[in-house]
Amino acid sequence: MLRQRRARILATLGPSSSTPDQIYALALAGADVFRLNFSHGSHDDHAARYHTIRSVERDIGRPIGVLMDLQGPKLRVGRMAGGRAVLETGSRFRLDLDTAEGDATRAGMPHPEIFAALRPGTDLLLDDGKLRLRVDACGADFAQTTVMVGGALSDRKGVNVPGVVLPISPLTTKDRADLAFGLELGVDWVALSFVQRPEDIVEARSLIGDRAWIMAKLEKPAAIDALDGIVALADGIMVARGDLGVELPPQQVPVLQRRIVHAARAAGRPVVVATQMLESMTTAPVPTRAEVSDVATAIYEGADAVMLSAESASGQYPVQSVAVMDNVIREVEQDPRWREGLDASHKPADKTTADAICCALRRVTNLLAPAATVTYTASGATCLRASRERPTAPILALTPKTAIARRLALVWGVHPVPFEEAEGFDRMVADGVAAARFHGLADAGDDVVVVAGFPSGRPGRTNLLHVVRVGEEPGV
């Protein structure tokens, strides 16, 4: 069951979407990859959802990716007397390590690492930016601040420190336990929260190895400053606009989204645009026109995937949300200006054999308009480089590894299919054409482009491009 679109849909599972019937309906509506949000739910909850996804995958007959999203370090104030206190604009307010309940003059903040990074003049944002404090004086265990924007502060509200690289790991003790559990389950992608620097990816890679691909969530200004280094080390990128929109002025978020998408595309890394894409559909059966335009913008920019969060996890209309996203993507991809935009924003490739082959693929598909591209890949690298070129023909990815097929379910234009490894050039061509015909991408008289590494079975050896007409492939 191949998708008749290039961009993919990542849907979060939760209370509104955890039964077999619900997950099956989401997959039919257009979900290509499912997100398990480890900020909520128990290990048993996530295991049940994972096994249901695999059952639905067997029923549908198409690889489905699973992304686990780690919570990351959540910085919060402590408890407040009576549950809340009102901070008046212009008043003095102290933050410290004292565990006593807070009031209108002070609150506990059990994060010594924050105090270590603070300097006078630093801004602190509380409760998703609803309250703003300016640091006047600070030490190893306290910060004396002035309330710049006041309001009600409740128990355990979040703290953001924009413009400061905090000396903390993106992986908490909870994250490490969750990660071990998720890898044992067999997740395909790991979304790493609170990434600030390239070293965060290195740390995660030391734990994950090649058992899953790493997606760096860019939600801190520090990550934007280190964008190229993070993109180079991660397997995928997520534009996490929630915290990014808290720590930066909102007018900067669309500009940064465009910058991140283009940087990921240039490097050949799958990129996901996330957060509040169809937010109103958590309670309404139809989206706002602005939300539809937001999804369309991500598709015009060439994002690999767009993501649903609360809309599919806890909203009242999860299936409708996926269907709306599917319809918007299809409509945009029928617009000739969509293709013009992709071509205009295309970046030169690296000087490697694989990229040379995939550059040729882009040119061949533009000239010959083949029905399909068939790529043989053991590691997924060939497909990623082919997808980077955004060819006009769909990419049928044949791989002997089911795990790689599932990871590729997130990648632009790729239709992954587990397939036995072919031996010999003629067999590769014949099997590739047969697969394209079987999956409805090509028919007699159509051209098919085959991209592979020869001899086969050696990852990172893409060195072959062959054009064959269906019905004229070599006999084997």
69: nearest Cα among 242, 221, 198, 228: 242
- Examine residue 373 and state whether it is found in any structural domain, yes or no: yes
- Examine residue 2 and state whether it is found in any structural domain, yes or no: no
pLDDT for res 96: 96
Judgement on whether residues 85 and 132 belong to the same structural domain of the protein? yes
Q: What is the mean pLDDT of residues 28-42?
A: 97
Segment 260-283, tens digit of pLDDT: 999 999 999 999 999 999 999 999
Task: Tell me if 232 sits within 8 A of 267, measured CB to CB.
Answer: yes
3-state SS assignment for residue 177 = helix
Judgement on whether residues 187 and 305 belong to the same structural domain of the protein? yes
241: nearest Cα among 274, 264, 271: 274
pLDDT at 476 over 60: no
3-state secondary structure 294-353: HHHHHHHHCCCEEEECHHHHCCCCHHHHHHHHHHHHHHHHCCHHHHHHHHHCCCCCCCCH
Judgement on whether residues 206 and 149 belong to the same structural domain of the protein? no
Judgement on whether residues 114 and 27 belong to the same structural domain of the protein? no
CATH code of the domain containing 28: 3.20.20.60
Judgement on whether residues 91 and 234 belong to the same structural domain of the protein? no
Task: Give the structural domain span for 447.
Answer: 353-469
Q: What is the mean pLDDT of residues 132-143?
A: 96
Q: How many domains does the chain have?
A: 3
Judgement on whether residues 184 and 281 belong to the same structural domain of the protein? yes
From CA 279, how far away is CA 259, in angstroms rounded? 23
Judgement on whether residues 66 and 90 belong to the same structural domain of the protein? no
Query: ω before 416 within 30° of 0 (cis)?
Result: no
Instruction: Tell whether the torsion through CA atoms of 332, 334, 340 and 342 is positive or negative.
Output: positive
pLDDT for res 456: 67
Judgement on whether residues 51 and 180 belong to the same structural domain of the protein? yes
Query: How many residues comprise the chain?
Result: 476
- Examine residue 305 and state whether it is found in any structural domain, yes or no: yes
Judgement on whether residues 43 and 94 belong to the same structural domain of the protein? no
3-state SS assignment for residue 131 = strand
CA neighbours closer than 13 Å in the CB half-sphere of residue 450: 27
Which of 160, 186, 203 terminates a domain? The answer is 160
Which of 131, 160, 189 terminates a domain? The answer is 160
Residue 250: partners with Cβ closer than 8 Å, 6 or more residues away: none
pLDDT for res 331: 98
- Examine residue 348 and state whether it is found in any structural domain, yes or no: no
Q: What is the mean pLDDT of residues 438-462?
A: 85
- Examine residue 105 and state whether it is found in any structural domain, yes or no: yes
**Cα 257 from chain centroid?**
13
277: left (phi over 0), alpha (psi -120 to 50) or beta: alpha
Segment 196-225, tens digit of pLDDT: 999 999 999 999 999 999 999 999 899 999
Segment 339-391, tens digit of pLDDT: 999 999 999 988 999 999 999 999 999 999 999 999 999 999 999 999 999 99
Q: According to the per-residue pLDDT averaged within each range, which of 44-48, 74-78, 347-351 is highest? A: 44-48
Per the prediction, the chain carries an average pLDDT of: 94
From CA 18, how far away is CA 30, in angstroms rounded? 16
pLDDT for res 84: 93
Q: What is the mean pLDDT of residues 40-57?
A: 97
3-state SS assignment for residue 221 = helix
pLDDT for res 461: 76
Judgement on whether residues 68 and 86 belong to the same structural domain of the protein? no
- Examine residue 399 and state whether it is found in any structural domain, yes or no: yes
What is the DSSP secondary structure assignment for residue 167, as one 8-state letter?
A: S
Indicate the pTM of the whole model. 0.93
Q: What are phi and psi of 48, to 5 degrees?
A: -65, -40
pLDDT for res 285: 97
**Cα 239 from chain centroid?**
7
Judgement on whether residues 69 and 35 belong to the same structural domain of the protein? yes
CATH code of the domain containing 100: 2.40.33.10
pLDDT for res 457: 61
pLDDT at 233 over 70: yes
Judgement on whether residues 32 and 63 belong to the same structural domain of the protein? yes
Which of 106, 128, 160 terminates a domain? The answer is 160
- Examine residue 291 and state whether it is found in any structural domain, yes or no: yes
Q: What is the mean pLDDT of residues 106-131?
A: 93
- Examine residue 119 and state whether it is found in any structural domain, yes or no: yes
- The single-letter code of the amino acid at 287 is P
Beta partners for residue 80, in sequence order = 102
Instruction: Output Rg (C-alpha) for the chain, integer angstroms.
Output: 24
Q: What is the mean pLDDT of residues 69-88?
A: 94
From CA 397, how far away is CA 65, in angstroms rounded? 14
pLDDT for res 234: 98
